């Protein structure tokens, strides 16, 4: 699928909400991208789309948060692997216990979370260098657009047409 240009924070939320429509229990979403690229913003949209309880915020210091569904759907397990250095440390979180029943989103998961599941959605977010929000600041509406690339890995994603669905989310 071609990279998507996501104009602003609201468009990133919409992208997450639309992405949530195709996610189901057992799905692993691995997010990568630099500081301030929009990983947490996308996850907030996924949380809205899954209709989970609680504010979806960066779990940097707690490593992982579980957000139960408000509509008897899949919970969202939101993980920040930034402070983790290996797959072994990711394994220590015991995510396997919830992986089958939840939608699991791992920020900073590239090179660390792939071993959790054969099937996964890999999302790379990129922001222009030197502009926009700082690394710990919310993405404001004056920030430059982000580029998002989504790729399904494994049999779960064969035949799932994400292109048109996700493009409609970012169209203005």
pLDDT at 89: 65
Q: How many CB atoms lie within 10 A of CB 7?
A: 15
Give the predicted TM-score (pTM) of the model.
Answer: 0.87
How many Å apart are CA 73 and CA 155, to the nearest integer? 23
The Cα 18–Cα 88 span in angstroms is: 32
* pLDDT tens profile 26-41: 999 999 999 889 999 9
| pLDDT above 90 for 171 | no
Q: How far apart are CA 171 and CA 165, in angstroms?
A: 10
Per-residue confidence (pLDDT) for residue 87, from 0 to 100 = 62
- The number of folded domains in the chain is 1
Identify the CATH number of the domain in which residue 157 sits: 3.40.50.300
Model pLDDT, residue 99: 73
Domain that holds residue 128: 4-170
Contacts of 147 (CB under 8 A, 6+ apart): 3, 4, 5, 6, 125, 126, 127
121-162 pLDDT, tens digit each: 999 999 887 544 444 455 555 568 999 999 999 999 999 988
Q: In this model, does residue 23 exceed pLDDT 90? A: yes
């Amino acid at each position: 699928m071609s990279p998507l240009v996501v104009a602003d924070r609201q468009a990133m939320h919409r992208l997450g909400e639309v992405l949530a429509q195709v996610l189901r229990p057992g799905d692993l979403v691995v997010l990568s991208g630099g500081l301030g690229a929009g990983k947490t913003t996308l996850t907030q949209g996924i949380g809205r789309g899954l209709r989970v309880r609680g504010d979806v915020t960066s779990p940097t210091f707690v490593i992982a948060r579980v957000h139960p569904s408000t509509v008897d759907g899949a919970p969202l397990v939101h993980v920040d692997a930034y402070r983790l250095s290996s797959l072994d440390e990711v394994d220590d979180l015991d995510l396997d216990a919830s992986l089958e029943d939840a939608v699991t989103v791992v920020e900073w998961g590239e090179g660390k979370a792939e071993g959790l599941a054969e099937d996964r959605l890999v999302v790379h977010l990129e922001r222009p260098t030197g502009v926009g929000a700082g690394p710990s600041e919310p993405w404001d509406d004056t920030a430059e657009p982000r580029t998002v690339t989504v790729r399904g890995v494994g049999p779960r994603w064969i035949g799932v047409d994400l292109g048109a669905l996700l493009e409609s989310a970012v169209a203005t």
